Amino acid sequence: MEHLLAFIDAQDTGMCFSGKGWKTEAETLAGFGVHQRLESTKVQDAPSFCEAHADFIFCHITYDVKNQLEALTSRNEDHVGFPVFDFFVPQIVVNVQPDEVHLLYRAEAHSPTAVRALFESIRTFQLRSKNESKQGLAFHRMDEERYHSDLRTLKQHIQRGNIYQGNYCQEFHWEKVVLDPARFYQYGFDRMPNPFSVFYRTGEHALMSFSPESFLRFEGSTVTSQPMKGTSPRHADPIVDEGNRKALETSEKDRRENVMIVDLVRNDLSHFAIPGSVQVPELYTIETYPKVHQMHSTVTAQIRPKIHPIHVLLKAFPMGSMTGAPKISAMQILDRLEHSRRGIYSGSVGFFTPEGNGHFNVVIRSLVYNASTGYLSCHAGGGITDLSDPHEEYEESLVKARPIFDLVDAHFAKNSSELPLADEAAAP
């Protein structure tokens, strides 16, 4: 995968889906180049684009697409500048299987000789030699005292009945970073091979996502969502680790948080579902990952005939696990409390197949990089209910962000020079 990642990173546009969660026949599915692209600035034009192309369509939608889907705004500064959304048909699709690699291409645009040359170029492509560097540790966008203050305000909204739950997020960032995104993604995925990971290059921006969460999966007429709410840290001691897992499994706060989002997802899917087909086959399931235990549930529905999945995707977006409930009120309140724009964080990256199936993740446990400014960013958040303790929520957000911090520190210690900061008081 190393050569494929390096090749994609050298393109203007490309995606590589890694991890065992993606429902494809491939170990790795990738695509690069643009054969057709939705040129509109309105996400409402995406359905006509998707319905017109019985092909692989790769896409991303940022959290800020909410402002086009609902009467909402984003007042916070956008520090990364990730494009709001993109839908494109790749020029080349690469399907990596255990014993062979398939390249899907258009005969009218590529001769067999050209494709063989392209395959050889990918097979031998080398990671670019780059003197990577960063300055010190991650900066918080706010301190813990401000975090506690914001959560107290959020809980007041809950106690007044304005919302039942809100997913509050904070940003951590590094500045003046020189990074090889493909090299970092390979390094990170080797150590944290989460099931819905994706590497994405678009212009000067790169996304390195090690997501454990599936947003929507489309298989035939069935749509499946697996909202993830509830997190507990792993521990090297097996007894302590099992205690952490059991505590999460029985946590009243986390169960309450989880079931609220399950109800929200059920409502989201019902808009295009056959009446009576929305089901919850799993509730409060605990999954264990390299760094954390997570609670998730599963919601399924049967989509009505002749409905393209893109309609379901946009109706359910943003995912309830990253907003709270009710959605609109929660997003309005969160925008007033949070301190930076989420951008691609809390958004989704995924694909549709020529057969009309598809799969989309939730962009969490991720890094976003702007090569033109040297800005490297990650977010972490958590669902807040009336049972939430601000100090515990702050610690949980660090539990989620810590694996990313560790990856960044270890990668730069191994592959680059790290420049000291004069003042690291704001670092976690």
Model confidence band, residue 128 (pLDDT cutoffs 50, 70, 90):
low
Give the list of residues 6+ apart from residue 306 with CB closer than 8 angstroms, or none.
none
Closest CA to 264 of 322, 212, 303: 322
CA 46 – CA 32 distance, rounded (Å): 20
What pLDDT was estimated at residue 428? 27
The verdict on residue 405 lying in a domain is yes
Candidates 213, 338, 393, 396; catalytic one? 213
pTM: 0.92
- Catalytic residue at 204? no
Q: DSSP assignment of 194-219, as one string?
A: -TEEEEEEETTEEEEEEE--EEEEEE
The verdict on residue 83 lying in a domain is yes
CA 202 – CA 247 distance, rounded (Å): 41
What pLDDT was estimated at residue 49? 98
Task: Give the residue, 153 or 140, on which the prediction is more confident.
Answer: 153
377, two tokens: 């960013």
The pLDDT tens digits for 334-350 are 999 999 999 999 999 99
Domain span at residue 142 reads 2-216+323-419
How much is the CA Rg of the chain, to the nearest whole Å? 21
The verdict on residue 275 lying in a domain is no
Give the position of tokens 């309450």: 256
Whether 375 contacts 173, CB under 8 Å: yes
The secondary structure of residue 318, as a DSSP letter, is S
Percent of the chain with pLDDT over 90: 77
Handedness of CA 18, 398, 296, 363 (dihedral sign): negative
CA 116 – CA 119 distance, rounded (Å): 5
The verdict on residue 313 lying in a domain is no
What pLDDT was estimated at residue 420? 38
38, two tokens: 């939705």
Model confidence band, residue 126 (pLDDT cutoffs 50, 70, 90):
confident
Rank 129-143, 190-204, 414-428 by mean pLDDT and report only the highest: 190-204
Q: How far is CA 3 from the centre of its chain?
A: 23
Q: Give the mean pLDDT of 372-395.
A: 93
CATH number of the domain encompassing residue 208? 3.60.120.10
Candidates 229, 291, 327, 400; catalytic one? 229
The verdict on residue 393 lying in a domain is yes
**Coil/strand/helix, residue 357:** coil
- Catalytic residue at 155? no
Written as one letter, the residue type at 118 is L
Q: DSSP assignment of 219-253, as one string?
A: ETTEEEE--EEEEEE--SSHHHHHHHHHHHHH-HH
The verdict on residue 241 lying in a domain is no
The verdict on residue 295 lying in a domain is no
The verdict on residue 91 lying in a domain is yes
The pLDDT tens digits for 292-323 are 899 999 999 999 999 999 999 999 999 999 99
The number of domains in the chain is 1
